[in-house]
Structure formats: C-alpha cells, structure tokens
Amino acid sequence: MSLLQEEFAQSAAKLIQKAAELGYTVTFGEAWRTPQQAQWDADHGSGISHSLHIERLAIDLNCFKNGTLIRDGSQLKDLGEWWKSLGPKYRWGGDFQHLPDGNHFSLTPDGVRA
C-alpha cells in the first residue's frame, strides 16, 4: 500500500501543477479522512463509508478560476480528463454516478470504478 500511496502523492503534485497550467488556482480540501468521518459522511448522504481518503489515495481540491471558487465540478472536466489519462486506476469524481464530486481525484488500488 505504501508504494501506491507514494505514487498517489507524486501524482497529486503533478495534478496541482497541471491545474495551474490550465489556469486554475487551488487550495487543499480534504486529503485524509478517518473511518469514523467517512461513516458519518455516508450516514448523512455526503460520502461513502469505504472512501479512498481513508487509505490516503484521494484528495479533494478547492479549485478557483479568476478568483472564484468552482462549485460545479463539471467545469473541471479538462483537469479530470488529464488525471484519468495518467493510468487505468486514476479516477475523477466528476464521473461518479452517485454523488458526482468534480473536486475529487483518486487512485484505486484495484481499479474498481466508483
């Protein structure tokens, strides 16, 4: 797992650089989540209990364009498509069927799609 976490951390750094190239500025949202927080989120309809944040394989970025926070994650499609191009295990939350989350970027250990 530690090798996958290292790959994810290196890729997240590239993600932030790519965001800047595409004209976004970013701040960190959530990178790590406790199992208890993930369960609370699931219980309240704002997440899932088996979140990759627990495994340190996901990050939520607050993305801005011209100083305005992008609240509609579908506006980050260019960044999401770039992230997915890194490999078959790279997932973008804008593609999630249940609770789309365009500010979410993850690396799945088993290739499972959310």
Segments making up each domain of the chain, as ranges: 2-107
**Topology classification of domain 2-107:** Muramoyl-pentapeptide Carboxypeptidase; domain 2 (3.30.1380)
pTM: 0.91
pLDDT tens string for the chain (114 positions)? 889 999 999 999 999 999 999 999 999 999 999 999 999 999 998 888 889 999 999 999 999 999 999 999 889 999 999 999 999 999 999 999 888 899 999 999 886 655
Largest CA distance in the chain: 38
